[in-house]
Amino acid sequence: MLCFDNKSWQRDPKRYWRKAPQEVQDFLVPAIDVYYRDKPQVERDEGMRSCGIVGQTIMLMALELGYQSCPMDGFDYDVVAKIINLPEDHSIAFMIAIGKGTKDSWPKPGQLSLDEVMVSNHFD
């Protein structure tokens, strides 16, 4: 289960930049507040983006270790949140199933061509 803290930016934001040069810290730490305050969609977008990157990394590592994986959604998020006692200011991004396959996977249906999913430079 990949979850994120929507308010992590409020919880000691200096910790994200503690190894950066002081001039970088002086600029970015105050900018965190400006970027996120009163912007719940930005908070959610950042959490989803971060969990997406982490999720892909977990899935690639699972593959390297000889496991198969599958990102999952479509479950009852509210029920799962209750089961895991998810804090009110956290959100669930998605779940990843990891294990050993029992049979070969079937071909992915509806795979779109690259031309249908990628735009170069601008939309027509």
Q: Is the dihedral of CA 90, 91, 93, 96 positive or negative?
A: positive
- 124: confidence class by pLDDT, cuts 50, 70, 90: confident
- Is 69 part of a structural domain of the chain? yes
pLDDT digits (tens, 9 = 90+) for 41-82: 999 999 999 999 999 999 999 999 999 999 999 999 999 999
In terms of Cα–Cα distance, which of 100, 113, 69, 88 is closest to 3? 88
- Strand runs labelled E in 19-124: 68-72, 90-99
- Is 9 part of a structural domain of the chain? yes
| The pair of three-digit structure tokens given for residue 101, joined into one six-digit string | 């396959």
Give 45-48's long-range contacts (Cβ < 8 A, gap of 24+): 46/4, 46/9, 47/4, 47/5, 47/6, 47/91, 47/93, 48/4, 48/93
pTM: 0.83
Q: Which domain holds residue 13?
A: 2-102
- CB 96 within 8 Å of CB 71: yes
Q: Average the pLDDT over 83-89 and give the result.
A: 97
- Is 45 part of a structural domain of the chain? yes
- CB 98 within 8 Å of CB 69: yes
- Is 25 part of a structural domain of the chain? yes
Domain count, the chain: 1
- Is 85 part of a structural domain of the chain? yes
- Is 93 part of a structural domain of the chain? yes
Q: What is the CATH number of the domain that holds 67?
A: 3.40.109.10
- Is 124 part of a structural domain of the chain? no
- Helix, strand, or coil here: 21? coil
- Is 112 part of a structural domain of the chain? no
